[in-house]
């Protein structure tokens, strides 16, 4: 009645059952599916690394940086822009708009990336402009601008200055629950509950050490808002002529011209995507801007060209080691000079889930802006490698 099962039939049956089991497993297990997707990265990276477009006569090292980012730093799509000291602009981009190479459009120079902490350059520059307009000084106390600070339980809060906020020396410890409330950790202090500063205990005496603080830059955003009598986002958009640019503040949804980011949740952090992971009110003045690399380079080039104090200025009271990359904070950027007899380059970088940003400025005023839709697996080591590569290209003797 039934045909005898052959070895060939048994093998086919086993393969079909195995295929169904595997498909069912990955269909039901989102975490396993995400891990499998990440393992395809070398293939996606190679396709993206070969899909590079550059403006005419662009220096070859711009494409070299993009290939390194793609193959080594988990970023399948990137933009880079370089403005020479004489003002000449060059740019390159690589990769694809969507998650799937070849199945989505190639990236263009106009595609939007989130700027992450590079946004702090606008906040710092706006504060420095207020200082040059005699509306503030570096020694102005935060409590004299934000009236909500009245009787703090930690008296040191009364003495926090604008200069300390700019240089991340105000006493806020980023690793405490008060350090990064834009990530939903600890109390919602800024910008909606400034009075909570009265209940805060600082992590250290102001001006005695450095600790990177998003809270500090959110407070600077509030200073800008109060002195200009309008919301921070409106003030910045007006001052930097956003209506004539592609710059926009981000929200909890992707924009229509925005790149897809190389992020999937493989652990238990609860961040299903990069859009819903943050408090966007608290994020605005610390990491809330978006645009393309060309616009970033142009705006930063203009900031660096302003009279001192500007984004390249360093607080003379800050005793820090500029021979160590990313260890010395100026008023807006981090100076790097590997040896006293070598040129100095200033950096500002940033990162959110699945994206990274970097700006570098050399001593002659040349600017490099790099935007990537991924972050290195090895964290700072991967980012610092790119900084050193850019340093070598910018300071290379012709």
Structure tokens at 210: 């450095």
pLDDT at 326: 78
- As to burial, measured by CB atoms within 10 angstroms (0-12 exposed, 13-18 middle, 19+ buried), residue 21 is exposed
Residue 31's CB is within 10 A of a number of other CB atoms, namely 12
Please name which of 111, 107, 112, 102 lies closest in space to residue 40, comparing C-alpha atoms.
102
Contact 347, 120 (CB under 8 A): no
As a whole number of angstroms, the distance between CA 67 and CA 69 comes to 5
User: Cα angle at 219 between 305 and 243, to 5 degrees?
Assistant: 50
pLDDT level of residue 267 (50, 70, 90 thresholds)? low
pLDDT level of residue 177 (50, 70, 90 thresholds)? very low
CA 246 to chain CA centroid, Å, is: 17
Average pLDDT over residues 375-382: 85
* Residues in Cβ contact with 11 at an 8 Å cutoff, skipping those fewer than 6 apart: none
pLDDT level of residue 374 (50, 70, 90 thresholds)? very high
Return the residue matching tokens 């990313």: 326
pLDDT level of residue 266 (50, 70, 90 thresholds)? low
Number of H helices, E strands in the chain: 11, 10
pLDDT at 173: 77
pLDDT at 156: 97
Task: Report helix angle 214-228 to 280-287, nearest 10.
Answer: 90
């Amino acid at each position: 009645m039934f045909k005898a099962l052959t070895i060939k039939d048994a093998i086919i049956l086993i393969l079909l059952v195995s295929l169904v089991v595997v498909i069912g497993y990955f269909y039901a297990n989102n975490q396993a599916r995400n891990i499998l997707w990440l393992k395809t990265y070398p293939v996606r990276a190679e396709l993206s690394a070969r899909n590079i477009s550059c403006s005419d006569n662009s220096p070859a090292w711009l494409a070299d940086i993009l290939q390194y980012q793609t193959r080594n730093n988990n970023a399948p799509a990137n933009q880079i822009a370089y403005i020479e000291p004489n003002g000449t602009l060059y740019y390159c981009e690589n990769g694809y708009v969507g998650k799937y190479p070849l199945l989505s459009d190639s990236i263009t120079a106009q595609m939007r990336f989130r700027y992450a902490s590079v946004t702090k350059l606008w906040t710092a520059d706006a504060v420095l402009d207020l200082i040059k307009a005699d509306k503030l000084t570096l020694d102005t106390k935060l409590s004299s601008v934000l009236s909500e600070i009245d009787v703090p339980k930690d008296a040191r809060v009364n003495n926090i200055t604008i200069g300390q906020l700019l240089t991340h020396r105000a006493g806020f410890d980023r690793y405490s629950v008060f350090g990064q409330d834009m990530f939903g950790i600890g109390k919602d202090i800024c910008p909606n509950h400034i009075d909570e500063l009265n209940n805060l205990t600082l992590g250290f005496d102001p001006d005695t050490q450095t600790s990177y603080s998003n809270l500090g830059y959110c407070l600077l955003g509030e200073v800008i808002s109060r002195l200009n009598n309008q919301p921070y986002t409106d003030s910045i958009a007006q001052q930097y002529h956003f209506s004539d640019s592609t710059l926009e503040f981000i929200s909890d949804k992707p924009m229509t011209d925005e790149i897809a980011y190389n992020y999937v949740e493989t652990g238990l952090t609860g961040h299903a995507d990069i859009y819903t992971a943050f408090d966007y009110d608290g994020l605005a003045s610390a990491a809330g801007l978006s645009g393309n690399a060309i616009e970033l380079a142009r705006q930063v080039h203009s900031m660096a060209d302003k009279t001192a104090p500007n984004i390249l200025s360093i607080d003379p009271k800050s005793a820090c080691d500029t021979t160590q990359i990313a260890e010395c904070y100026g008023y807006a950027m981090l100076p790097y000079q590997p040896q006293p007899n070598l040129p100095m380059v200033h950096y500002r970088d940033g990162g959110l889930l699945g994206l990274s940003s970097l700006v570098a400025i050399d001593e002659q005023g040349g600017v490099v802006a790099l935007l990537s839709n991924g972050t290195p697996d090895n964290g700072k080591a991967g980012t610092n490698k790119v900084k050193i590569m850019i340093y070598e290209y910018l300071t290379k003797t012709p």
